[in-house]
Amino acid sequence: MINWGTLGFHYTEPDYIVRAACHNGVWEEPYATADKYLHLHVSATCLQYGQEAFEGLKAFRGIDGKIRIFRWRENAKRMARSAEGLYMTPVPEDLFGRAIHLALEKNMDFVPPYGTGATLYFRPLLIGTTPRLGVGPGKDFEFVVIPSPIGPYYPGKFHCTTFIVNRHVDRAAPFGTGQFKVGGNYASSFRATEAAHAMGFDCVFLDARFHRYIDECSAANFIGIKGNEYLTPKSSAILPSITNDSLMTLAREQGLKVTRRRIALEELDEFSEAAACGTAAVISPMDKILDPEMGKTYTFTSEPGPVLTKLYRALKDIQFGRTEDKHNWCEIIN
């Protein structure tokens, strides 16, 4: 029996995962299995050359008791772009959807009750399985959907976190794989993020060319509020965030001007609020960004600011069915 009130943001074993294989460009039908282990050749291209991509999305038990899957089609499209970027056969959108629905159907007991703040998280994973020693892409792939109930990112009060700038580690090159959701981007960031975590902070990455403009924050997009403007970086090294896209839509509805452009670090002095955003936390507000090498601290609000708090609540209300979903972002499962 799961204690939903103490569930953290970590993996909890489900009853089933869902798998589908692709050979010679043809995808097989997804199926559910209780086997949580992959049987790979030691020379599989995912192991030898990092040919893999993944996604993350959630299902919510709403205030009306119905389950809502949030914007899964956007995750399917983004995974397809990642697959093409790494020369993999994309998972068709309809197959992606069938796999998510099957994973939900086979793990209904793992959908947390409304009011706990917990959700059912899905981790779709695409890997190259062709045995190969010579450098090059594989032609065989496996698609896996791993469901897991997770607790709220903020188990207590919605609060601010301090971030620190790292000038010695680049997360991704300007025209590399930063725009794709692939494991290599996260592995390359560990030196910076783990160093930041050891000091009690999260990490801000700057652009790899000039080390002046904000790229990402740990594994999330950056957003900031400057007057009546919602600002987020524009860069070929940034993963297009579905959460950020949703927040931009809500920001426009709330009368904010939405701008995507390069944001120089020194411009942060003009920001009233700042945050990281992504599937895990939705919005992770910042109280400060430290730049120790320049001896500079950019200070925002000690508590989550009014603009970002309003956006956070607006998106959560849609996800949990507390307000009208005017954009049809949620697929409702009765």
Q: Name the residues annotated as catalytic.
A: 181
Strands 67-70 and 57-61: antiparallel
Burial class (CB in 10 A: 0-12, 13-18, 19+), 165: buried
Q: Do residues 21 and 140 lie in contact, with contact meaning Cβ atoms separated by under 8 Å?
A: yes
Report the b/e string of 125-144 with b at 16+ CB within 10 A: bbbbbbebeeeeebbbbbbb
Q: Do residues 196 and 166 lie in contact, with contact meaning Cβ atoms separated by under 8 Å?
A: yes
Q: Do residues 238 and 217 lie in contact, with contact meaning Cβ atoms separated by under 8 Å?
A: no
Query: What is the Cα–Cα distance from 158 to 275, expressed in whole angstroms?
Result: 12
Q: Do residues 44 and 131 lie in contact, with contact meaning Cβ atoms separated by under 8 Å?
A: yes
Query: What is the Cα–Cα distance from 301 to 297, expressed in whole angstroms?
Result: 13
Query: What is the Cα–Cα distance from 126 to 216, expressed in whole angstroms?
Result: 23
Structure tokens at 81: 């772009």
Query: What is the Cα–Cα distance from 124 to 83, expressed in whole angstroms?
Result: 12
Q: Which helix (H) or strand (E) segment is 105 a member of?
A: helix 93-105
Placement of tokens 């411009």 in the chain: 267
Q: How many residues are recorded in the chain?
A: 334
- What Å distances lie between residue 70 and 34, 147, 250, 283, CA to CA? 25, 14, 15, 16
